Amino acid sequence: MANGKTVSESHLLRTLFNLWPYMWPAGRADLKMRVVWASVYLLVSKFVLLLVPYFFKWSTDALNGRMDLAGAVPPLLAGAVALVIAYNVTRLIQLGLNQLRDALFASVGQHAVRQLAYKTFVHMHELSLRFHLERKTGGLSRIIERGTKGIETIVRFTILNSVPTVIEFLLTAVIFWWGYGFSYLAVTAFTVWAYIWFTIRASDWRIAIRRSMNDSDTDANTKAIDSLLNFETVKYFGNEEMEAKRFDKSMERYEKAATEVWTSLGWLNFGQGVIFGIGTTIMLVLSALAVQRGEQTVGDFVFVNSMLLQLSVPLNFIGFVYREIRQGLTDIEQMFDLLEVEAEVKDAPDAVALRIGQGAISFKDVHFAYDPARPILKGISFEVPAGKTVAVVGPSGAGKSTLSRLLYRFYDIQSGTITVDGQDIRTVTQKSLRSVIGMVPQDTVLFNDTVAYNIRYGRTSASDGEVFAAAEVAQIAHFIETLPEGFETKVGERGLKLSGGEKQRVAIARTILKAPPILILDEATSALDTTTEREIQTALDVVSKNRTTLVIAHRLSTVIGADEIIVLKSGEIAERGTHAALLERNGLYASMWNRQREATQAEEHLKQVRESDELGVISRLAPAS
Ligand SMILES: Nc1ncnc2c1ncn2[C@@H]1O[C@H](COP(=O)(O)OP(=O)(O)OP(=O)(O)O)[C@@H](O)[C@H]1O
């Protein structure tokens, strides 16, 4: 338990330390001035506040005829009225100062929120592919959302409330001691101590409940998003009920934890009320007895009561501030943890921009494993000479797509070298490397925006004319024009409103706009009908002309023209050569080729049979003339 507490305290300190730059933003003198002025207004308002009970006491005593108002002896009622007015004016001034403080600080808080959200977003994009593959997007976005809200709370409450609240308590304690004696100080101090002790204990208990509420909330959200992203799969298997049950189970945990959060708040408020009630009762009894003995005036009794009432406000605040800060910390703890995750692939400290010539690629004795226990590539060496096309084929899982991920430097290899124009890709900046490689991925995912936006993504400065021209080369312009809103048609989340072939052509169009010297075509012609495949192949032939191209393909018909074909099997190069040479060799490639040819022939035969059968059916159904 003691150990757990130490860990959580150090977490708290670390988080506060991390937050400091957001509370006192570097290079923003205007915001720093706002913080300073807001603090000044707050302190002044605390002093003004302490005058209020005095005015209350003096006006009560004046009404009781116990005060001669410094010998001026104005008419009794006039003096009391003046004091009551002064009392209310003081309150108004104090209120005004507080509003001023809030208005000044609003921009500091909002600036901090924006800064942190921005930093987290940028950091997410810096992290490696592995992190994103392992992390669930729904949970991630929830953590960021709660974290940014948390920072607003923390920035506000730590700077502007915690310290001034302590000052207010100390001033009140000094006034009691100096004006009424040690017993008043002792009761006040004990009440405040008991109040704070109870509040912290109860809040810690509540924070644990809140954590479990956050966890189940994240869990439910992750499940909901995952389920909706897999909308089609859910339908294919008719598993709506199971999905709903899974979601509801997480929501059940959330419901329980959320209810507990509210019940525990009730207990906390009640306990605070009891402690403060006991303290106030003792103080007022002490004062009432002193009035009876003639040691204090009725004004003093009123003063003690109004001081205590006033103290209850910051005390209430201590509880509230502590709760808010701890809860805010809980929320942003996970976000700071995210910010501390280091990118797996990083630019070397002395990395320079890649000097691109014609884009010759070379893999030399490359060994790679996603997981050390399972080697994927075992000593791969090949070259793609500048402007040439090399195709990689092989059984599923052989490691073909892995080659493209390594060239893009999504992962670092364990040994060997990968070079582009003779420069090891680990010695150049990732940005410069990626800027010279165009990728038509296996599975194109589009942004939930218009077709034009998705094509222009290849080069954001491209004109409408260039976007259209790229679409034409990619053989997709005609299709886009048939859409109700043409290039302005929205493609739906992840591009779901487009077919696989259409998405792929959008991907080709945006790569055309990028116009990179190196091209990776990953399974660019899989899962397409023959006509579409031919259209896409035409587009790809145009795009890859005079570009260094690495094709990763399943359909061998698309790689016949490659300058070299590499046959990969279980992470090793089984065969290599031109199409003709490999066929002659009569090895793995030749058998794959024969199998695919047989499959294609069988497909075509089936199509013909269907067509002729269809004709037969039609002629039989046709009415005799
Ligand atoms: N992120 C990853 N983490 C762990 N293992 C992975 C990861 N990505 C791929 N693998 C594994 O690495 C192996 C090679 O994958 P890769 O995608 O390169 O195969 P491929 O030859 O392109 O297959 P396919 O033709 O089916 O696309 C596979 O066994 C796969 O399960």
For the CA of 394, the nearest atom of ligand 1: 21
Neighbouring residues of 569: CB distance < 8 A, sequence distance ≥ 6: 394, 395, 398, 588
Which residues on neighbouring strands pair with residue 518, listed in sequence order? 437, 548
Ligand 1 geometric centre to CA of 562 (Å): 23
Ligand 1 geometric centre to CA of 402 (Å): 6
CATH 1.20.1560.10 range(s) for the chain read 16-340
Instruction: Tell me how far apart the terminal alpha carbons of the chain are, to the nearest angstrom.
Output: 96
Burial of 82 (0-12, 13-18, 19+ CB in 10 A): middle
Q: Mean per-residue pLDDT for 132-140?
A: 74
- Using a 6 Å cutoff on CB, does residue 526 contact ligand 1? no
- Please give the residue that has the higher pLDDT: either 538 or 420: 420
CATH 3.40.50.300 range(s) for the chain read 351-436+517-589, 441-515
Rounded to whole angstroms, what are the CA distances from 355 to 21, 361, 420, 430, 515?
Answer: 38, 13, 9, 13, 16
Lowest mean pLDDT among 325-334, 369-378, 577-586: 325-334
- The per-residue pLDDT for 144 is 83
Lowest mean pLDDT among 91-95, 256-260, 620-624: 620-624
Q: What angle do CA 281, 285, 291 make, to 5 degrees?
A: 145
Ligand 1 geometric centre to CA of 382 (Å): 19
Mean pLDDT of all residues in the chain? 83
- Using a 6 Å cutoff on CB, does residue 470 contact ligand 1? no
- Please give the residue that has the higher pLDDT: either 156 or 468: 468
Percentage of the chain lying above the pLDDT 70 cut: 88
Q: What is the DSSP string of 444-494?
A: ----SSBHHHHHHTT-TT--HHHHHHHHHHTT-HHHHHHSTTGGG-B--GG
For the CA of 398, the nearest atom of ligand 1: 21
Ligand 1 geometric centre to CA of 405 (Å): 10
Q: Mean per-residue pLDDT for 471-482?
A: 88
Strand ranges (E), 213-344 = none
Burial of 16 (0-12, 13-18, 19+ CB in 10 A): middle
171-223 per-position pLDDT tens digit: 888 889 998 989 999 999 999 899 989 988 888 888 788 888 888 888 888 88
523-569 per-position pLDDT tens digit: 654 456 667 777 777 778 878 888 899 999 877 877 888 899 999 99
- CA 375, distance to chain mean position in Å, is 33
Most confident of 2-11, 123-132, 508-517: 508-517
Q: 384: part of which helix (H) or strand (E)? A: strand 377-384
- Please give the residue that has the higher pLDDT: either 514 or 158: 514
- The per-residue pLDDT for 170 is 85
φ/ψ (deg, to 5) at 165: -65, -40
Query: Residue whose CA is closest, atom 2 of ligand 1?
Result: 370
- Using a 6 Å cutoff on CB, does residue 373 contact ligand 1? no
What residue has token string 């008043």?
Answer: 184
φ/ψ (deg, to 5) at 420: -125, 125
DSSP, collapsed to helix, strand or coil, labels residue 21 as: helix
Q: Mean per-residue pLDDT for 397-413?
A: 91
- The per-residue pLDDT for 467 is 92
- Using a 6 Å cutoff on CB, does residue 403 contact ligand 1? no
Query: Residue whose CA is closest, atom 3 of ligand 1?
Result: 370
- The per-residue pLDDT for 610 is 61
Mutate to test the pocket of ligand 1, among 127, 345, 374, 376 (most ligand atoms within 8 A of CB): 376
Mutate to test the pocket of ligand 1, among 402, 550, 568 (most ligand atoms within 8 A of CB): 402
Query: Residue whose CA is closest, atom 11 of ligand 1?
Result: 397
Rounded to whole angstroms, what are the CA distances from 231 to 234, 236, 237, 450, 504?
Answer: 5, 9, 10, 22, 21
- Using a 6 Å cutoff on CB, does residue 399 contact ligand 1? yes
The pTM for the full model equals 0.69
DSSP, collapsed to helix, strand or coil, labels residue 174 as: helix
Closest listed residue to residue 414, CA positions, set 376, 358, 369, 451: 369
**Pair type for strands 377-384 and 423-424:** unpaired
> In this model, does residue 619 exceed pLDDT 50?
no
* Domain 441-515, CATH number (from 3.30.70.20, 1.10.10.410, 3.40.50.300, 3.40.630.30): 3.40.50.300
> In this model, does residue 623 exceed pLDDT 60?
no
> With contact defined as beta carbons under 8 Å apart, do 218 and 143 qualify?
yes
CATH code assigned to 16-340: 1.20.1560.10
Lowest mean pLDDT among 1-10, 258-267, 280-289, 555-564: 1-10
Query: Residue whose CA is closest, atom 7 of ligand 1?
Result: 370
Lowest mean pLDDT among 68-82, 101-115, 360-374: 68-82
* Domain 351-436+517-589, CATH number (from 3.40.50.300, 3.40.50.2300, 3.40.50.410, 3.40.50.970): 3.40.50.300
- Using a 6 Å cutoff on CB, does residue 396 contact ligand 1? yes
Query: Residue whose CA is closest, atom 26 of ligand 1?
Result: 396
Query: Residue whose CA is closest, atom 16 of ligand 1?
Result: 399
- Using a 6 Å cutoff on CB, does residue 624 contact ligand 1? no
Rounded to whole angstroms, the Cα distance separating 21 from 244 reads 44
> In this model, does residue 402 exceed pLDDT 80?
yes
Query: Residue whose CA is closest, atom 4 of ligand 1?
Result: 370
Q: Is 526 left (phi over 0), alpha (psi -120 to 50) or beta?
A: beta
DSSP, collapsed to helix, strand or coil, labels residue 163 as: helix
Ligand 1 geometric centre to CA of 533 (Å): 24
328-361 per-position pLDDT tens digit: 887 888 788 888 888 888 899 999 999 988 889 9
Ligand 1 geometric centre to CA of 397 (Å): 5
Q: What is the DSSP string of 59-111?
A: HHHHHTT---TTTT---HHHHHHHHHHHHHHHHHHHHHHHHHHHHHHHHHHHH
- Please give the residue that has the higher pLDDT: either 329 or 423: 423
Query: Residue whose CA is closest, atom 13 of ligand 1?
Result: 397
* pLDDT level of residue 253 (50, 70, 90 thresholds): confident
Rounded to whole angstroms, the Cα distance separating 388 from 390 reads 7
Query: Residue whose CA is closest, atom 30 of ligand 1?
Result: 397
Rounded to whole angstroms, the Cα distance separating 8 from 199 reads 17
Ligand 1 geometric centre to CA of 353 (Å): 30
- The per-residue pLDDT for 69 is 47
Mutate to test the pocket of ligand 1, among 128, 133, 363, 370 (most ligand atoms within 8 A of CB): 370
